[in-house]
Amino acid sequence: SLVGWMVGGLGAVVSLASMFFGAISGSSMATVSCIGSIMVPQMQEKGYDLGYSAVFTACAGTIGAVIPPSIPLVVYGVCTGTSVGDLFVGGILPGILIGIGLIISNFLVCKKKGYKGEERKSLRQILKAVWEAKWALFAPVIILGGIYSGIFTPTEASVVAVVYSAVVALLIYREIT
């Protein structure tokens, strides 16, 4: 709803989704496998080249290693005695900049290749989509807010994220039986 109307809109969706999923999982491989399994077939269906779709999704998945709660940052912090919280704070801006850079490069490539966007959504449709996704969008807030406020450690945040996701998937979205 937010960026699908742009030239190469599905690529922008991949970049944004990778940023959000990276903020939940902290893993590049998990981000690529989850977002790729959903978005690469969608991109192919809309006429994107399979090679471009796969490569762009793999590149966007690397955001998972930068945006907190990044598993590599946790491992680095533990091994070197560096504050994991400080590493997380240091990863926010680079992760966002990587996502924006990918959206810009995707736009330029897609403009050259002729990949069009979807129909532009109205403000009402965008707000409705955000409202429907509020429970999923709240997960990064819980994880990062809990870590930065000192309520729980990054390891405890992973447990909170799993429990929160299970409750939302089972009771609210009813996607898991």
User: pLDDT tens-digit profile of 97-134?
Assistant: 999 999 999 999 999 998 887 888 889 998 998 898 89
> Is the pLDDT assigned to residue 26 strictly greater than 90?
no
Q: Among 79, 106, 120, which residue's Cα sits nearest to residue 16? A: 106
Compute the distance between CA of residue 18 and CA of residue 137 in angstroms, rounded to an integer. 13
> Is the pLDDT assigned to residue 55 strictly greater than 90?
yes
C-alpha distances in Å from residue 105, one per residue of 9, 41, 56, 119: 12, 21, 10, 21
Percent of the chain whose pLDDT exceeds 90: 42
CB of 125 closer than 8 Å to CB of 16: no
* 78, 91, 24, 108: CA torsion to nearest 10: -140
CB of 87 closer than 8 Å to CB of 79: no
Report pTM: 0.77
pLDDT digits (tens, 9 = 90+) for 59-75: 999 998 898 888 898 89
Mean pLDDT, the chain, integer: 89
- Residue 138: pLDDT band (50, 70, 90) is confident
> Is the pLDDT assigned to residue 5 strictly greater than 90?
no
